[in-house]
Amino acid sequence: MKKRTFLALLFIICYLLFENTPLHAQTATRIEQLLEEETVSYQEAALLVLEASGRLEPGNKTRMEDAFGFAMSRGWLPTDTKASSAINLKGLSILIMQAFDIRGGLFYTLFKNPHYAYRTLVYHNIIQGRADPLMHVSGELLLFIVNRAMYLSGME
């Protein structure tokens, strides 16, 4: 009887330890792919930002097109945006400000446009170093900025 209980307990422990392994492997693969990219599209950025902010449930059921559509329907991206075009810092800034509910200054509160969102993220030291608002965002820079936004909003 003890052997049977021990085996059942061992099975339950192994199941609990290795239950989420495919999800972690999938996430690591996606991060590696992002790190290798020179420029990130609006839909790739929308998926990462919305999952990191908790607006969308992470996992393989969420597609980039759905995340992009969600962000566009809420007005979190510039209106003339195409899903496959390369995102710049201004476009990423407005998406991050809205998704993470980061409070801005007076002008951002009044106008809620990408220019003031960019300036707010620079002020909060989320965007660091030499940066231009029209600069295209690489995968590495995207991960860095999203990490900083998560830290600022207390979602670490």
Residue 9 lies in a domain: no
Residue 4 lies in a domain: no
Q: How far, in Å, CA of 105 to CA of 102, rounded?
A: 10
Q: For 3-13, write each residue's pLDDT tens digit.
A: 666 555 555 66
* Angle formed at CA 110 by CA 108 and CA 114, multiple of 5 degrees: 40
Which residues in the chain come in under a pLDDT of 70?
1-26, 59-62, 156
Domain count of the chain? 1
Q: For 93-126, write each residue's pLDDT tens digit.
A: 999 999 999 999 999 999 999 999 999 999 999 9
Q: How far, in Å, CA of 118 to CA of 106, rounded?
A: 14
Residue 15 lies in a domain: no
Question: Nearest 5°: phi and psi at 136?
Answer: -70, 150
> 83 lies in which domain range?
23-152
| pTM for the structure as a whole | 0.81
Which residue in 124, 46, 37, 154 sits closest to 91, CA to CA? 46
Contact 137, 45 (CB under 8 A): yes
